[in-house]
Chains A and B, each alone.
Chain A
């Protein structure tokens, strides 16, 4: 068997993508619906009596958001690797509920309909969908992946992401920082030397990374960020205004109606997107009591509103520059990543921060900001697979975003690995006992920049056990801390005088044990070869059914009449052929016939789209029109790429 492909995955707050190296070029793998983006939305379908629960992901799950909001979760990335208190704070702006029986010392579970899920499990469903998309695309199993994480993710958040990969049946070969991945994607086709800054404002996180490029080596100098800052915050701000005004003017508190809140959220997102290209956007929301909330949002007002949010990106940028010991003028190029960098005010802020216009420079936006991270993940996957000459020349040297420390006497922090140290990095510390015959020493590891351990993120507490009985102060226990290339901490210990390896139990403060992760591995982790062909057949039949059902409805559409007789006959012939093959066992033949029918209906699809666009566009943005069509129009071409940019 040929070496298995390694895919690159961008597990985003808002959207997720999977990509791979096609020769020397990274390419995004589309889903069944032809879209490159899989919305990071997971829904639990209503469970039929006696039936098994089914989970849907992406655009299908998005549709459930307004009808059954209590069964849907989005932006789960914001909950990854977080403790109970942090999640409670987070949930104030989101409509999800914590399971009632949640214990303070375990990973919080989110209630979804009748069932409860940990954040890594939810992410695992998204990863499984991406894995399936890739398997469908290659017609071969995919079990190895590179997954991206925000550069500013801490140890617990990284571990949670790796756990999610394992639950989805993926061997996570590497976690790559998102801004670094973007730099890889940009650096691929230009052998460059210079210093670049990557400004990554995504759905829920903000990262800034400064890299030095030299002969294919991408050496990160410094990174900074905020794992709590992104487009979500802008949406929430607009929502808050709408919800408050609706309550004050119409006496309706929509917060009591989760479905209505989602409708407001949708309107807020649409308005935000529209304001990137237009000078004014409108809220026009139907209220449950029959009223109508209408409001104009001029771009100037919007920019004033989001100013404090954008201002929060400035401090991390300045800190990153200071840590890299350079001035803004020494940045040769700036790369913009993340959907939120489409906002003109964001671009203006970046320009100010790095003095770009003054130096006759412009930030790089050539690669689609939604896709660039996934493309970079694919490049890193190529580097790991050692598959191509292009990637063999490249090497990424990343850093740890946060300092690692140990709680010392008095609750202060003794730093053992400074932030922005190139990883892998290690540190060795020596510990001893305070009492004669003491057999255990407790160690508390923290991550963060604050002086007091209580203000830092608690990573792990562990006991050095089995210290041979000696007088106080005599044992000499060597503890080695190692941050690996994924930014994850490993600890090992040894008592030096007796030569005995001390037994260590590292208990992560927030995290799942190995056994817990095993127990959460998704059922579909079953891609043994024989199962795989079965899955391919089922998927091929499903796709065939989708397109056949759409063709069945086609004659009812006015566009059908615009087709020539030959075109209609060709569609009918392709339809009959597929219907016949679908009964057989040959997945490849079914897929081929599905593609043929798709091709035959292309002109029809275009006619229908034209009609839909011209109706939908009255007073709407292209994006909004796109979404609406997604919900209301039965496009007969399940796989035709619908492009609404």
Chain B
């Protein structure tokens, strides 16, 4: 599974036989492509795990690496290099997709540190388990209950073809409110990023706990917003 890169394991280059750090995509000596390195997504971009990333730099690095790694560059290469180009590019793409999105990046880091709120991979015969639904945040219990009632009413009204303007207005108001809650969660998350990136061990552990809770809360609220949008837009 995923592991935090602690000590670099020396690996011998298949082409020039010089030993190198296993987290490189190319041999530092002969520049030949290497099999997928064992590091985390951050190390693909030569980064230490962190949450505040400059997206322009990340994109530029993604493009630079793509130009060198992409299977299009290996169309007429030997079979082993072709396979590594495919595997390395898949890793690069997976890493970029995860790191460029703030939420996925946060989830990934937490998973890397073993503090994930819900494990995204679990073991089940016949298929991976679905993610467990998050708990209703305690401070929102009443409002969520109310909102769910209104959503039910709205769907029922839709079915019979009646138009309840009052209900629609109140749903729209709820949506505005939950959108604002979402924005507040994002603001809190950003504060935790800084705390994690710049803090010591204790500060980091506190930030991890807070982020896990914030992600749970965010997931719950965004599901609600999605339901409201779907019902209003239907």
Contacts and interface: CB of A to CB of B under 8 A. Distances in A.
A421 B125 contact: no
Contact of B75 (A173, A217, A442, A473): A173
Contact of B63 (A215, A383, A384, A443): A215
Interface string A423-466: 11111111111110010011110000000000000000000000
B123 A174 contact: no
Given A414-B128, A414-B130, A484-B86, A430 B123 contact: yes
B93 A414 contact: no
A407 B129 CA distance: 10
A395 B124 contact: no
Interface stretch (B66-74, B150-158, B162-170, B206-214): B66-74
A396 B89 CA distance: 13
B96 interface: yes
Contacts of A407: 126-127
A432 B126 contact: no
Contacts of B128: 406, 408, 414, 416, 429-431
A353 to B, nearest CB: 18
A426 B123 CA distance: 19
Interface string A454-486: 000000000000000000010010000011110
Given A386-B76, A424-B89, A425-B90, A484 B71 contact: yes
Given A386-B76, A397-B66, A425-B90, A432 B124 contact: yes
A421 B100 CA distance: 12
Interface string A84-127: 00000000000000000000000000000000000000000000
B133 to A, nearest CB: 13
Contact of A408 (B96, B97, B124): B124
A484 B85 CA distance: 11
A384 B72 contact: yes
A406 B76 CA distance: 34
Contacts of A397: 66, 70
B121 A408 contact: no
A140 interface: no
Interface residues of B, number: 28
Given A408-B130, A434-B125, A396 B86 contact: no
A174 B86 CA distance: 13
Nearest to A215: B63
A7 B23 CA distance: 37
A383 B76 CA distance: 11
Contacts of B127: 406-409, 414, 431, 443-444
A116 to B, nearest CB: 36
B112 to A, nearest CB: 14
Given A215-B63, A395-B66, A426 B91 contact: yes
Contacts of A483: 90
B188 interface: no
A433 B93 CA distance: 31
Contacts of A384: 72, 75-76
A428 B71 CA distance: 21
A427 B97 CA distance: 12
Contacts of A435: 125
Is the interface on chain A under 10, 10 to 19, 20 to 34, or 35 or more residues? Answer: 35 or more
B121 A395 contact: no
Nearest to A438: B125
Nearest to B129: A408
A146 to B, nearest CB: 9
A52 to B, nearest CB: 37
A432 B125 contact: yes
Interface in B92-132: 93-94, 96-97, 121-130
A219 to B, nearest CB: 8
A395 B70 contact: yes
Nearest to A486: B71
Nearest to B93: A422
Contact of A424 (B90, B124, B130): B90
Contacts of B76: 384-386
Contacts of B129: 408-409, 414
Contacts of A443: 126-127
Nearest to B91: A426
A428 B121 contact: yes
A214 interface: yes
Given A384-B72, A385-B75, A408-B130, A433 B66 contact: no
A412 interface: yes
B72 A485 contact: yes
Contact of A482 (B70, B72, B86, B124): B86
A384 B90 CA distance: 18
Given A409-B129, A442-B126, A443-B127, A424 B72 contact: no
A292 to B, nearest CB: 48
B94 A395 contact: no
B69 to A, nearest CB: 10
Most A Cβ at <10 Å: residue of B72, B96, B97, B121: B72
Contact of A422 (B86, B97, B124, B125): B97
Contacts of A482: 86-87, 90
Nearest to A427: B94
A174 B72 contact: yes
B123 A383 contact: no
B67 to A, nearest CB: 6
Contacts of A423: 93
Contact of B121 (A430, A441, A485): A430
A396 B75 CA distance: 14
A383 B87 CA distance: 20
Contacts of A422: 93, 96-97
A424 B86 contact: yes
Given A174-B72, A383-B72, A441 B126 contact: yes
A560 to B, nearest CB: 53
A494 B123 CA distance: 14
Contacts of A444: 126-127
A435 B66 CA distance: 44
Contacts of A427: 94
Contacts of B97: 421-422, 425
Contact of B125 (A424, A429, A431, A484): A431
Contacts of B87: 424, 426, 482
12 contacts: A173-B75, A384-B75, A386-B73, A414-B128, A425-B90, A425-B94, A426-B90, A429-B121, A430-B122, A431-B124, A432-B123, A432-B124
Given A217-B63, A423-B93, A485-B72, 16 more contacts: A214-B63, A397-B66, A408-B124, A409-B124, A409-B127, A424-B86, A424-B89, A426-B91, A427-B94, A430-B123, A431-B123, A431-B127, A431-B128, A434-B124, A443-B126, A485-B70
What are the 10 closest A-B residue pairs judged by CB atoms, nearest first? A434-B125, A408-B127, A384-B75, A432-B123, A424-B90, A426-B90, A422-B93, A485-B71, A414-B128, A424-B89
